[in-house]
Homo-oligomer: A and B are copies of this chain.
Amino acid sequence: MHALIREAEALCLRTGVTFTPPRRRVLELLAASKIPMKAYDLISQAGADGHPFKPPTVYRALEFLCQLGLVHRIEQDATFVACCHSGHTQPVALFVCNSCLKVTEVAYPNVAKVLENAAQAQGFQVESIVVEGRGQCAPCAQAA
């Protein structure tokens, strides 16, 4: 069993929320994938073994997992990826490789502060930030 699943179980137990079958199934698929997945890939694959999952079920599971920080949604291309840091609470930037599509997570604790201050300087009170990027991951940059 994937470590992330154990994480999820523990986290749910701690916070008093339930780790139901569809939530588990979606997280399993994401954890097993090396690259971000589209919602409809999850929908078809989740039901590959007989029990078909419909869109709302999967979208609900994704929303749940995102809230817990176990999964990230990549806004630029509407895909979802399992979080490799386990249940972190610090902000992460997601860098997607243009060649292999794998995600590199980059924490940016101080940078977040700077951004918040820059916004604050214009009177804007920041509540959430999304940072995403594109480029070449280490192995693909090597190969090029």
Give the interface of A toward B (CB within 8 A): 75-76, 93, 95, 97-98, 104, 106-108, 110-111, 114-115, 118-119, 122-139, 141
Contact = CB atoms under 8 A, between A and B. Distances in A.
Nearest to A123: B138
8 contacts: A106-B124, A108-B118, A122-B138, A124-B135, A125-B135, A128-B135, A129-B131, A130-B132
Of A75, A106, A118, A127, chain B has the most CB atoms within 10 Å of the CB of A106
A3 B98 CA distance: 36
A5 to B, nearest CB: 25
Nearest to A97: B124
Contacts of A141: 123-125
A119 B132 contact: no
A102 to B, nearest CB: 10
A132 B75 contact: yes
B133 A126 contact: yes
B98 A123 contact: no
Contact of A119 (B124, B125, B127, B135): B135
A109 B14 CA distance: 41
Contacts of A104: 119, 122-124
A111 B66 CA distance: 26
A131 B134 contact: no
Contacts of A98: 127
